[in-house]
Amino acid sequence: MRKMMMTSRWLHRGLLTGLGVVLTVGGLSACASREPGAHGRSEARMGEMRERMIERVSSRLTLDAAQKARLQTLADALQNARKSVRGEAASPRDELTALIQGPTFDRERARSWAEARTQALQGQSPQVIQAFGDFYDSLNPTQQQQVRDHLARMGSGHGGWRGWRG
């Protein structure tokens, strides 16, 4: 009886673990399929979109020149962090696909891949935090409240980032 319960427990855990791995790899592959750029956009297109977003945010918050410069610095820091986390590989999808090419999942390669991304994020986070802090601190109380209100709408599912779009 006890042996049957232990076998059942191991089978249950094994199935749940297998399902978790399949969902994780599938999710990562789906996310990685959006390369090159975000949603298939080129670097030039991403730069254009970033500039338009800066203009929209600037007009919505009625930023002065100094505040707009700080927003530009924040956008640059975020872009550098994104590039750093993305890594040097041409396609993250190819990296993820390589993990499942053999008969077993390449755990060591996956672990080193994740650690490299984590280190890149940790390396870039001080610049992003500093840039965001400088930008936010330069806003007047009314502008700060607009940012807080916008972030609250983003989390509620009622419009998200569309609030900055026009």
Question: Are residues 147 and 61 in contact, defined by beta-carbon separation less than 8 angstroms?
Answer: yes
pTM: 0.62
Whether omega before 92 lies within 30 degrees of 0, making that bond cis, reads no
Gap between the Cα atoms of 90 and 93, Å rounded: 9
Element (H, E) at 158: none
Gap between the Cα atoms of 123 and 146, Å rounded: 30
The amino acid at residue 151 is L
Q: Where exactly are the structural domains of the chain?
A: 33-164
**C-alpha dihedral sign at 27, 29, 33, 34:** positive
Tally DSSP H helices, then E strands, for the chain: 6, 0
Which tens digits make up the pLDDT trace of 30-69? 444 444 444 455 778 888 888 898 899 988 899 999 999 9
Which tens digits make up the pLDDT trace of 120-162? 888 888 999 999 999 999 999 999 999 888 888 876 555 544 5
User: What's the pLDDT band for 103 if we cut at 50, 70, 90?
Assistant: confident
